[in-house]
Structure 1
Amino acid sequence: MKTLEHFFASMALNNREKQRIIYDEEKKLAQNQAQIKSQMAKYEDELARKRMQAENEYHRIRNQELVKLQEESEIRLEQARRATEEKIQAQRRQTEKEKAEIQRETIRISEMAAAEARAHEARLSEEVNRRLLLERGDAEREKWISIIHATFEHIGGARVIWGYVDRILGQPSLIRESSRGKYPWSGMFSRAKNGNGFGDVILHPSLNKRIAQLASATANTKEHQAPFRNMLFYGPPGTGKTMVARELAHKSV
C-alpha cells in the first residue's frame, strides 16, 4: 500500500513539475513572442520612418529640380526678351539712320532744286537783259543806217562817211588804209539793199540782227573809250564763224 501511495505521490509530483515546466515554457514563449512583436513593431516603425524620409528626400529633390527648371526657363525667357529687345533697338537705329539719310537727301535735292531755280531765273534774267541790249543795239544800228541813207544818197559820199566814222570810232592800229577797199561802205549799201549785211555770209534774220547789234555795241564801246569785252563764236567747223568775225571786225571799226 505504501509503495502504491509513493508511486501516486511521485506521479503527482512529476505532473506538477511538468505543469510548472510547461508553464515556464509557455511563459518564455509568450515573452519571446512579445519581444519579437516589439522588435517587429520597432522595425516597422523604422521602415516607415525611413520610407517617409525617402519620400521627403524625393520630394525635396523633385522640388529642387522643378525650381531649377523654372529658373532655367526664366533665364531663357529673359535671354529671348533681351535678344528681341536688341533686335528692336537695332531696327530702330537702322530706321533712324535711314530716316536721317532720307532727310539729308531731301535737303540736298531741295537745295539743288533751289539752286537750279535760281540759276534758271538768272539765265532768264540774263536772256531778258541780253535781248533788251540787242534790241537797243539794233535800234542804234537802224538809226545810223537811216542817218547814212538820209545824208548820203550816192556812192561818192562813202569816203566822207568813212572819214566821219573813223573820227568817231577810231581806226584800229592793225588796219591800214591799203587793207580796205576804196569805198568800204559801198558794200554795206549794196548789202542793205538786198537784205544781207555781211557780204557772202548768210545768216538767220534773228542772228543777223544780233551780230549787227554786237557790231554797233563794239563801235559805241570804242567811241566812248570803254573797255572791250571778249566774244566767243562757237559752232561746228564750216559754219562761217571766221567769216562772221571778219565781217564784224570790218563793221565795228
Structure 2
Amino acid sequence: HAKDALSLAQMQEQTLQLEQQTKLKEYEAAIEQLKNEQIRVQAEERRKTLSEETKQHQARAQYQDKLARQRYDEQMRQQQLANEENLRKQEESVQKQEAMRRATVEREMELRHKNEMLRVEAEARARAKAERENADIIREQIRLKAAEHRQTVLESLKTAGMLFGEGFRAFVTDWDKVTATVAGLTLLAVGVYSAKNATAVAGRYIEARLGKPSLVRETSRITVLEALKHPIKRLASKAQDALEGVVLSPQLEARVRDIAIATRNTKKNKSLYRNILMYGPPGTGKTLFAKKLAVHSGMDYAIMTGGDVAPMGREGVTAMHKLFDWANTSRRGLLLFVDEADAFLRKRATTGSLILTFMGFSVFPLSLHASRFMLVLASNQPEQFDWAINDRIDEMVNFDLPQLEERERLVRMYFDRHVLKPATEGKQRLKLAQFDYGKKCSEIARLTEGMSGREISQLAVAWQAAAYASEDGVLTEAMIDARVADAVQQHKQKMEWLKTEGAEASKGTGRNPLLPFPKGTAV
C-alpha cells in the first residue's frame, strides 16, 4: 500500500496548501478591512476637525459681530447724546433769542404807550382850551337849533291835523266810500276765517294720509318730514335676503322662501297680495321674518299689536279705519304685521266683550285682498280666531320651537354677534378666555331644549353682561355655564307657570286638566 500512502500524503499536502492559501487570503482581507477602517476613522476625524473649526469660525464671527454691534450701539448712543446736547444748546439759544425779542417788543410797546398817552393828554388840553374859549358861541348855536326844531315840529303837527280832519270829513260825507270800506273789511274777515279752517282741514287730511297712525308701533315707511330731512335715505336702502339672520328648520325655511319669492313677484307684477297667518310659540321669529319679507320684497312694513286695540273701546274702529286708509296710500306697498291678533279677533262665543268682536269684524272688509298692502297676522293661540277670520286667510305657517340643529345655529350666531365680535374688534371692554368655542356651543344647544330663539338671544346678551360685570372683563367658560344653568332654570319655571295657567283655564272651559295644553299657547 505504499503507492496509496504516497497518494494520501500528497492529498494531505495539497489540503494543507489550500488551507494555508485560505488563511493567507483571510489575512489579506483582514488587512484590507483594517486599512478601510483606518481610512474611515481618519475621515471621521477629519470631519470632526472641520466641524469643530466651523464652530470656532462661527463663534469667532458671532463674537466679532457682537463686538461690532456693541461698537455701533455705543457710537449711536454717543451720537444721540451729542444730538441731544446740540438740541439742548439750540433750545437754550432759541429761548434766549425769544426772551431778548420779547423784552425788545415790551420795551417798544412801553415807549409807544407813553408817547400815545402824551399825545392824548396834549390833545385833551388843547380841546379843553378851545371849548373854554368858544363856550358862548356853542351855547348860542344849541339855542338856535332847539328853537328851529320846536318850530318845525309844531308846524308838522298842525299840518297833519288839518289833513287828517279834512280826509275824515270827506270820508264821512261820502257814503259810497263808507259802504266799500265796510264791505272790504267783511270780505277780509271771511277770507281769513275760511283760510284758517281750510288749512286745519288740509292739515288733518295730510296727517291722516301721510302721518303715522297711533296704532302703529314701528314702521319703515318714511314720512314727508323725514323725507325732507333725509332725501337720500330711501335711495340708500337695498333689498336683502328674506332669511338673513333668521334661523328656521329646513322645511319651514323652504316654505317661507317660496312665500318671499311669491310676494316679491306679486309686487313687481302689481297683483293682489296674499294674506298670511303665522302662529306658534313666542320668540320663534315671526316678527323678524315679517320685517325681512317686507325689505326683501321692496315694501314698507308697519307693526301693530292687537292688545293696543282693546283699551280703545269703540274708538278702536275709527283707529283701524285710519290705519287701513294710511296703508292704502303707500306707493311702495305696505306689509301690515298684526301681532297678537287674537286679542281682538277671538271667537264670538268665547270672547269676553262683544264690542271687541264686532269691532274686529267691522274694520275688515269682505275681501282682504289688496294691491297696496299685505296683511300678516301673528298669534300664539290660533285656535281662538273666529271662523270668519280663518276663512279669509290664504296661507297659514307654523313657526315651531327650534330643534337641536337650529338651536346650535342660533347659539353660534348669537355667540359670534354678542361675544366674538366685541372681543375681536377691541372697541369694548370684553375679552374671551381660551376654550373650545365650537364644542361649548354644541353643548349649550343640547342643554337649551325647548327654548325659543328669543330666549337664546337673551342668553347671549347675558354672557356679554357677565363679562362687563367682571373685574377684568374676561368671559370664562364657568361664567357661560352659570348663565346657561340660570336660563334653563328660568325656562322650567315659565313652563310650570304655563301648566298651572292651563289647568286653571281648563277648569273654566270644561277641558280635562290632564290633557296637554294647546300648542302655541302664549306665556
Richer in strand (by share): 2
Richer in helix (by share): 1
TM range (shorter): 0.3 to 0.5
TM-score (norm 2): 0.22
The structure with more radius of gyration: 1
Which structure is higher in RCO with an 8 Å CA cutoff and minimum separation 6?
1
TM-score (norm 1): 0.43
